[in-house]
Structure 1
Amino acid sequence: MLKAFILAGSGKSDKLKEKEESPKALIKINGREMILYIIDALQKLDYIEKIVVVGPEKKLRSVLKNFDVDVVEEGAELIDNVMKGLECFSDEDEVLIITSDIPMITPEALDDFIKRAKELNADFAYPIIPKEDTEKKYPGVKRTYVRVKEGTFTGGNAVLVRVGSAKRCLDRAREFFLYRKSPWKLAGILGIPIVLKFLLGRLTISEIEKRVFELFGINARAVISRFPEIGSDVDKESDLELARRVLAREVVP
């Protein structure tokens, strides 16, 4: 059995929140709040035994009152919300952490990632999606891609973690989060050789995994997923329109 928690924090610099006048998780897509699509996908996996949602508690409870989920009040930052979610489980648990802004997610995509991740027996497993798969399924979509020796990938919006290991590395992760928009500070942490190989497109996935182990002391593994929906988050108006079009086609009359 597996447990899960959804990151549904309101976000201080959320452009969609300002435009839609609602926390992102509660923006409606074809008449349903975005977070409900994620909960639906999780509940269709019969091995998910517990779901926790971290976000604006009062607003979420009014929407989720008929769902079998626990709701926890959000913190000030993303890292705080991750810790709040992890505290709901024991250190021995394996937990799927997923964001609330991937409404096109399917049970098949999650099941494929979870099964591949569990085979690796890692402390931290993270999906990466080939650029060609994303562009084939969602032509014209704009995503942030990273080029490594094995190809060009975008990151997913779910991770499978061992709770105890994740808790131990959160303080260092907070440092990365604070420096995420300062490339030179990040380079100082990662090391110049790693950064140079990355810039030249010569860095391998295994080298990244090794460096993560050196920095955090955890066995982190990348999982190549052929399901673009696990990395297709809703960050801007064009993403929201894409989600509305795709999900409208999936509604059975």
Structure 2
Amino acid sequence: MSEASWTAILLAGQRPGIDPLAHALGESRKAKVKVGGEAMLSRVAKTLLAAPAIGRVVVMAQTPEFLFDGDCAWMAEEPRIGTVHSDSGIATSVAAVAGTAAAPWPVLVTTADHPLLTVPMIEAMIAGAGDADVAVGVVGRRTLLAAYPDNRRTWLKFAGEAWSGANLFALQSDRAQVALKLWSEVERDRKKAIKLISHFGPWLAVRAITRTITLDAAMLAVGRKFGMTARPVALPFAEAGIDVDKVSDHELAEAILAAREVH
């Protein structure tokens, strides 16, 4: 894959109603919450643009034009940043633009609430994706809890390890549209592991529930079932598994960024 060949879709929308984190920290939009003295959206966008593989960033939100003020004002003038409007679902919104002129393949999807994202994480994700149609970034429980034992995550338990998402997805061909359709079907169950797994068929669900299949094997099986290649990318960075959804996450992210500044 050539340098600067990837399009990054940066999800910066908001679910209906008042976002608890934004409300607690005095912001109207979650993406504008400051971490380490800078809006999360601005911080993640700068990290993406600093990655050699990323040629363009597309900010996706219900009203992206209202995000580019304050810390994010620079983004309105940055030629490598574009915007698209999202609809009611994340997966359907991504599916509508992935592989089009607005966001040509290959596409890396991440979120504005991932302020701990680093260029090495992006590079590891892209390298780990290889030639897969779809790759999903994950962090193992042992990796994350060894560094942050008090952190609470949603874990998907498989043979050998439990995994949490890293808010990084690599989509590389039209076959990824199948995965996006599947994602839209399970989106409402993303925090309910058994319900989510049940969408992939009874055999795989039983293997996953009984933890007699690894995540790698499960994703290989899902890919075969739906006519694509799919794989997890186990990232060695504990911070890749920490997004900022609640005040305790925000406090931890602030502490991590402060420590980075020292070093």
**TM-score, normalised on structure 1?**
0.87
Shift of 1:94: 0.7
Say if 2:143 is the partner of 1:133. yes
Does the 8 Å contact 1:26/1:35 carry over to 2? Answer: yes
From 205, 225, 242, give the equivalent of 1:232: 242
Structure 2: runs of 5 or more not aligned: none
Secondary structure in 2 aligned to 1:226?
coil
Does the 8 Å contact 1:128/1:225 carry over to 2? Answer: yes
Say if 2:85 is the partner of 1:73. yes
Structure 1: runs of 5 or more not aligned: none
Q: In structure 2, what is the equivalent of residue 51 of structure 1?
A: 57
Q: In structure 1, what is the equivalent of residue 7 of structure 2?
A: 3
* Structure 1 pair 188–249 and aligned structure 2 pair: CA distance change class (3 A): closer
Question: Greater shift after overlay, 59-68 or 185-194?
Answer: 185-194
Say if 2:30 is the partner of 1:19. no
Q: Give the letter for the 2:120 counterpart.
A: E
Does the 8 Å contact 2:108/2:170 carry over to 1? Answer: yes
Shift of 1:123: 0.1
Say if 2:125 is the partner of 1:113. yes
Identical amino acids, percent of aligned pairs: 27
Secondary structure in 2 aligned to 1:76?
coil
Q: In structure 2, what is the equivalent of residue 101 of structure 1?
A: 113
> Cα deviation per residue 1:125-148 (whole Å; 9 max; x = unaligned)?
112211121112223111112221
Aligned counterparts, 1:1-253, within 5 A: 1-12=5-16, 14-20=19-25, 21-55=27-61, 56-62=63-69, 63=72, 64-67=75-78, 68-86=80-98, 88-89=100-101, 93-118=105-130, 121-180=131-190, 186=196, 189-251=199-261
**TM-score, normalised on structure 2?**
0.84
Does the 8 Å contact 1:145/1:152 carry over to 2? Answer: yes
Secondary structure in 1 aligned to 2:108?
strand
* Structure 1 pair 115–182 and aligned structure 2 pair: CA distance change class (3 A): closer
> Cα deviation per residue 1:49-95 (whole Å; 9 max; x = unaligned)?
11111013122233222434112223222223323442654796211
> Cα deviation per residue 1:206-237 (whole Å; 9 max; x = unaligned)?
43123322443221011111012222111111
Question: Greater shift after overlay, 57-66 or 100-109?
Answer: 57-66
Q: Give the letter for the 2:118 counterpart.
A: T
Cα separation, 2, equivalents of 1:70 and 1:247: 27
Secondary structure in 1 aligned to 2:138?
strand
Shift of 1:15: 2.5
Cα separation, 2, equivalents of 1:179 and 1:157: 16
Question: Greater shift after overlay, 77-86 or 226-235?
Answer: 77-86
Does the 8 Å contact 1:25/1:34 carry over to 2? Answer: yes
Shift of 1:191: 2.6
Cα separation, 2, equivalents of 1:151 and 1:188: 19
Secondary structure in 2 aligned to 1:147?
strand
* Structure 1 pair 127–12 and aligned structure 2 pair: CA distance change class (3 A): same
Cα separation, 1, equivalents of 2:230 and 2:102: 20
Does the 8 Å contact 2:60/2:84 carry over to 1? Answer: yes
Cα separation, 2, equivalents of 1:188 and 1:40: 38
Secondary structure in 2 aligned to 1:173?
helix
* Structure 1 pair 169–143 and aligned structure 2 pair: CA distance change class (3 A): closer
* Structure 1 pair 203–80 and aligned structure 2 pair: CA distance change class (3 A): same
Secondary structure in 2 aligned to 1:190?
coil
Cα separation, 2, equivalents of 1:187 and 1:144: 14
> Cα deviation per residue 1:23-62 (whole Å; 9 max; x = unaligned)?
2111111321001221122122123111111013122233
Question: Greater shift after overlay, 209-218 or 100-109?
Answer: 209-218
* Structure 1 pair 11–155 and aligned structure 2 pair: CA distance change class (3 A): same
